[in-house]
Chain A
């Protein structure tokens, strides 16, 4: 059964303290691994798509990487405005539905 697990559930960092969020997955055939950001009271906002192991994508202080079993969202020198819940979602190649993780709540203290 296809599955997505995100860890940690919550992460508190000081401003400038780099870290990584994890998205572990099991899938029979990967169509894509997707990262979203969700601010309180708002809908998720698309960040990245990763299609194959070894692929990396970057946007400002965020960098997403993919292996055959997990994806990492690395955040470098974060700022308070990076505080949000980060969601990953798995696309399986024989099913157009996405399988969502429960998210990691990231809090950056000034």
Chain B
């Protein structure tokens, strides 16, 4: 595997479910990110991890919970989501936090019913 891989690619969940998104990077990068992408809106940064420490949390609701067990893996735990949380969730990595050259995964398309 190369680059940044995300699973699952598609997820449908009810508002009371608990699910997790997974991201793995094979680039040896030190920073990993979660972004939310909604139709016709700019990318929204949710979380940033640098060397496994969370360095940024952009006022994201607590129903989204990130986890970074090591520099290659990133999770986004989801619980009691709202329909407006339906979006494409993108994971990215970069050599260091603050870099502008991000490598993105293909995203997880989330639908909340």
Contact = CB atoms under 8 A, between A and B. Distances in A.
B92 interface: yes
A44 B42 CA distance: 12
A12 to B, nearest CB: 17
Interface stretch (A58-66, A68-76, A93-101): A93-101
B4 A100 contact: no
Contact of A49 (B42, B101, B106): B101
Interface in B69-113: 90-92, 97-98, 100-107
Contacts of B92: 43
A11 interface: no
Contacts of A87: 43
B103 A46 contact: yes
A4 interface: yes
Interface in A84-109: 87, 89, 91, 96-103
A41 B106 contact: yes
Nearest to A91: B100
A44 B56 CA distance: 21
Interface in A10-68: 31-32, 34, 41-46, 49
A98 B104 contact: no
B100 A42 contact: no
B45 A98 contact: yes
Interface string B26-67: 000000000000001111010010000000100000000000
B4 A98 contact: no
Contact of A97 (B41, B56, B106): B56
Contact of B104 (A4, A9, A31, A43): A43
A67 B45 CA distance: 26
Residue from the set B43, B45, B98, B103 with the largest chain A CB neighbour count within 10 Å: B43
A31 B100 CA distance: 9
A42 B107 contact: yes
Query: Closest 5 CB pairs between A and B?
Result: A96-B98, A43-B104, A100-B42, A100-B43, A34-B100
